[in-house]
Amino acid sequence: MPINTESIMIPDTDRESSQPLDLSRCALAVDIGGTKFAAGIVTELGEIVSSRRIGNPQGSNPEELYDALTDVIDSVLHAVGLESDQPLPMPAVGIATAAPLDRDAGTVSPVNIPAWRGFPLRDRLVERYGLGVRMFGDAVAVAVGEHWRGAARGRRNVLGMVVSTGIGGGVIIDGRVVPGTTGNAGHIGHISVDPFGPPCVCGGIGCLEAVASGTSIAGWARAHGLDVPDAGAVAAAARRGDPIALATFRRAGEAIGLAVAGAVTLLDLDVVVIGGGVAGAGSLLFDPIADGYAKFAGLGYASSPRVIPALLGGDAGLIGAAAVVLQPDSYWPHA
């Protein structure tokens, strides 16, 4: 069935709304988070034409989860006039997934999705949709998305970070994402910010994630007497002026500032972009980050402030996943 691209209009302000959509120049993007599945059709300008997001189903059956994911994907295809049992015009599928993943084997084992352990996601999607699949970490996807179309657009040397349940990131050097020897570069959540700090689940000591993730923020606030279920509640308490909540965010933010100062000093970066749920606390987090940065970035070239909030919000993962398909020279150096 030929695709009737004439009938599909783009609901975006960046281009003429009467311009037809060329799906052969779009990416099918998938974002697998610890708590959500999302899929979208993304244009070469980084516009999301069609997208859908669901909280991922709980349960222990890997096939049920897979069916839920393909339902999401099929629905965004359907919205642009495509069906999964027909040849698709997009060049490839980009998948941003919660860690860990095995890039070579094409399998995923997201920590918060226990039903998927070594699940062969890449091959299953290749088989179903007849497209190549490029799969990489969700935190790297956010860094890539923010570099391609967000807060770090046009900058050459960038660290993108996600401060959420955990802390992850991605590094861009000379405009290209850094994969690292095993495809794992970007894990800023697991660099130590305090040799006498708390033990980390990774086996390290004083890791940034063990101090400043949403989980760690809530845990530290509780340990100091605040009755809160999560980091959002700590932020709410801080906005009411609660001193323990404020101290919790100060401790977390200064630790982020130290880690970021180290990365900027080592790599001489232009800018650090921070997104994720905890970053939604705004100045509660960004003010102590700026103070920590100023305290620990002493050398001249690194000392001016350069930590900024992400712009793309929850769309960053989809846009990053699309970027590896549409801008492979910059964002898919794995090949």
Where on the chain is the footprint of a second copy (CB under 8 A)? 156-157, 171, 173-174, 178-188, 190-195, 200, 202-207, 254-255, 258, 261-263, 265-270, 295-299, 301-303, 333
Minimum distance from CB of 226 to a second copy (Å)? Answer: 23
Exposed e or buried b per residue across 239-261, where buried means at least 16 C-beta atoms within 10 angstroms of its C-beta: eeebebbbbbbbbbbbbbbbbbb
Looking at the Cβ atoms of 204 and 277, the one nearer to a second copy is 204
Looking at the Cβ atoms of 185 and 308, the one nearer to a second copy is 185
Looking at the Cβ atoms of 75 and 265, the one nearer to a second copy is 265
Please, are residues 101 and 107 in contact by the beta-carbon 8 Å criterion?
yes
Minimum distance from CB of 164 to a second copy (Å)? Answer: 18
Which residue, among 173, 166, 147, has the nearest Cα to 316 in the 3D structure? 147
Minimum distance from CB of 251 to a second copy (Å)? Answer: 10
d(CA 96, CA 134): 9
Minimum distance from CB of 125 to a second copy (Å)? Answer: 24
Exposed e or buried b per residue across 178-206, where buried means at least 16 C-beta atoms within 10 angstroms of its C-beta: bbeeebebbbbbbbbbeeebeebeeeeeb
Looking at the Cβ atoms of 75 and 192, the one nearer to a second copy is 192
Q: Which residues pair with 108 in a beta bridge?
A: 101, 119
Looking at the Cβ atoms of 81 and 204, the one nearer to a second copy is 204
Minimum distance from CB of 220 to a second copy (Å)? Answer: 15
Which residue, among 183, 170, 174, 288, has the nearest Cα to 235 in the 3D structure? 288
